[in-house]
Amino acid sequence: MKAPKGKTAFCFPGQLQEKPILEDHHPLREDPHCKELLVRASSQTKFDLLNFSFGGDEKEEDFSLKLQISTYILSMVYFYRLRAAGWNPDIFAEHSMGIYAALAASEAISFEEGLHITEAVGRLLQREGAIHRGGMASIIGLPLEEVQKVCQDLNSFQLSIANYNGSRHYVLSGEEKGVEKAISLALSRKAVSATRLAFNTGLHSPLLYTLREEIMGILQDIKIQPPKVPILNHWTIKPLRREEIKDFLSQEIGRPVYWIRCVETLLQKGVSQFIEVGHEATLTKLMRWIDREVEAFSAGAPHPIPLPSGERGE
Amino acid sequence: MVEPNDQLIEKIKQLIIQRLKLADITPEMIETDAPLFGEGLGLDSIDALELVLGLEKEFGVIIPDAEVGKKVFQSVRTMAQYVLEQQGAV
Interval A105-134: pLDDT, tens: 999 999 999 999 999 999 999 999 999 999
Task: Please say whether the beta carbons of A144 and A191 come within 8 A.
Answer: no
Confidence of residue B89 (pLDDT cuts 50, 70, 90): low
Do A7-131+205-311 and A134-196 come out as alike in CATH topology?
no
3-state secondary structure of A232: strand
Cβ-based contacts of A288 with chain B (< 8 Å): 20-21, 50
Interval A185-198: pLDDT, tens: 999 999 999 999 99
Return the CA Rg of chain A: 19
Q: Which of A165, A192, A287 to mutate to test the interface with B (most CBs of B within 10 A)?
A: A192
Select from B46, B65, B66 the Cβ nearest to the Cβ of A286.
B46
Average pLDDT over residues A288-305: 88
CB distance B48–A282 less than 8 Å? Answer: no
Nearest to A14 by CA among A100, A80, A83, A84: A100
Nearest to A92 by CA among A224, A225, A233, A222: A233
Q: What is the CATH architecture assignment of B6-89?
A: Orthogonal Bundle (1.10)
Residue A275 has pLDDT above 70, yes or no: yes
3-state secondary structure of A294: coil
Task: Please say whether the beta carbons of A147 and A161 come within 8 A.
Answer: yes
Select from A282, A286, A288 the Cβ nearest to the Cβ of B21.
A288
Interface check for A288 against chain B (CB to CB < 8 A): the answer is yes
The domain limits of chain A are 7-131+205-311, 134-196
**Burial class, A102, CB count within 10 angstroms (exposed 0-12 / middle 13-18 / buried 19+):** buried
Cβ-based contacts of A168 with chain B (< 8 Å): 49
Confidence of residue B29 (pLDDT cuts 50, 70, 90): very high
Interface check for A195 against chain B (CB to CB < 8 A): the answer is yes
Q: What does the alpha-carbon distance between residue A86 and residue A21 come to, in Å, rounded to a whole number?
A: 26
Residue A207 identity: L
Average pLDDT over residues A283-309: 88
The domain limits of chain B are 6-89
pTM: 0.94
For residue B45, give how far its alpha carbon lies from the nearest alpha carbon of chain A (Å): 6
Residue A310 identity: G
Select from A192, A288, A292 the Cβ nearest to the Cβ of B66.
A192
3-state secondary structure of A216: helix
pLDDT confidence of residue A313:
46
Check whether domain A134-196 has CATH 3.40.50.150, yes or no: no
CATH class of residue range A7-131+205-311 = alpha beta
3-state secondary structure of A292: coil
Residue A180 has pLDDT above 60, yes or no: yes
3-state secondary structure of A162: strand
CB distance A140–B46 less than 8 Å? Answer: yes
Torsions phi, psi of A250, nearest 5? -75, -20
CB distance B49–A138 less than 8 Å? Answer: no
Confidence of residue A310 (pLDDT cuts 50, 70, 90): low
Confidence of residue A4 (pLDDT cuts 50, 70, 90): low
Average pLDDT over residues A255-260: 97
Residue A1 has pLDDT above 60, yes or no: no
Average pLDDT over residues A240-254: 96
Interface check for A292 against chain B (CB to CB < 8 A): the answer is yes
Q: Which of B29, B49, B68 to mutate to test the interface with A (most CBs of A within 10 A)?
A: B49
Confidence of residue A314 (pLDDT cuts 50, 70, 90): very low
pLDDT confidence of residue A311:
58
Nearest to A202 by CA among A235, A241, A173: A173
Confidence of residue A312 (pLDDT cuts 50, 70, 90): low
Chains A, B: CB contacts within 8 A come to: 46
Nearest 5°: the CA angle A97, A84, A92 is: 35
Q: Report the residue of chain B nearest A286, measured CA to CA.
A: B46
Residue A101 identity: A
Query: Among residues of chain B, what percentage have pLDDT more than 70?
Result: 97
3-state secondary structure of A201: coil
Interval B62-85: pLDDT, tens: 999 999 999 999 999 999 999 999
Select from B24, B48, B64 the Cβ nearest to the Cβ of A190.
B64
Confidence of residue B3 (pLDDT cuts 50, 70, 90): confident
CB distance A289–B45 less than 8 Å? Answer: no
* More confident site: A110 or A24: A110
ipTM of the complex: 0.89
Residue A3 has pLDDT above 70, yes or no: no
Interval A214-235: pLDDT, tens: 999 999 999 999 999 999 999 9
Chain mean pLDDT for chain A: 93
Torsion of CA A49, A55, A61, A66, to 10 degrees: -10
